[in-house]
Structure 1
């Protein structure tokens, strides 16, 4: 996968305008809170399903913590333009589950951010922040967010 990205990047300079060179799905990494893997599927140009699976083997309650997030997101393609680069802001709503040694937390989340898809390389970069509202076993507010990259196919 990385070798094909390297070949594509060397064959032609990355363009900043035009249609994205990607497919309807993407898989990659998310660095932040939480850190893990991410999968996204486009339902249309303006709606996405976004999933994350993250883990913390050291600092979780009781020794480990695994977090699963799923979001429905609404995008606003082309709303932000900087010179010839088009950035896509998005907002959404979703659910989250945190599993840890001895229990689990369940809640809802409200993510928002901005995404950029390259035009001749199947790569997406995105920045996301979210309000996490834990409902069970008790009410707690938290924040999440970070920087991600996905290979689009």
Structure 2
């Protein structure tokens, strides 16, 4: 499993060379806590990826989302702060493997003139395998863009 996580991180970091300025790497803190990656496709669409660890349950989280940004909800005096929403998948790996559908809802602050963003999100997740349950994760973090 450690080799698989390492391989995923290396592949995602390689995006930073191919997509200069559009690929962010950072830290997500909360439930779960780990690494956050964002690859912007254009001004409103992005792919989010994560490799994280649940501190409460000793579970590895792997997730990927497609998110859309709405810049009209919040209007800071400097920078931008879009509300984002999307859909994605989550795989939990522990004694058994769980699979679920994620609905990320968040706010990202992008300071003007920097290569950083700061975010907060709540993510309702419908677990489908091995049983159907509803879960909600919450976290905040930051990313640096290459």
How far apart are the structure 2 equivalents of 1:119 and 1:82?
11
How far apart are the structure 2 equivalents of 1:140 and 1:100?
17
Taking structure 1 as reference, are residues 49 and 110 closer, same or farther at Cα in structure 2, changes over 3 Å only?
Answer: same
Q: CA deviation at 1:86?
A: 2.5
How far apart are the structure 1 equivalents of 2:87 and 2:99?
14
TM-score when scaled to structure 1?
0.77
Q: Which has the larger radius of gyration?
A: 1
RCO comparison, higher one (Cα < 8 Å, 6+): 1
Match of residue 147, structure 1, among 128, 140, 143: 140
Could you list the runs of 5+ residues in structure 2 that have no partner in the other structure? 1-19
TM-score when scaled to structure 2?
0.81
Could you list the runs of 5+ residues in structure 1 that have no partner in the other structure? 1-21
1:129 counterpart residue number:
122
Q: CA deviation at 1:84?
A: 3.6
Pairing 1:65–2:59 present: yes
C-alpha contact 1:124 1:150 (8 A) present in aligned 2: yes
Deviates more, 1:111-120 or 1:83-92: 83-92
Taking structure 1 as reference, are residues 59 and 117 closer, same or farther at Cα in structure 2, changes over 3 Å only?
Answer: closer
Deviant stretches of 4+, over 2 Å: 82-86
Query: What aligned pairs does 1:30-69 form with structure 2 within 5 A after superposition?
Result: 30-56=28-54, 59-60=56-57, 64-69=58-63
2:86 counterpart residue number:
92
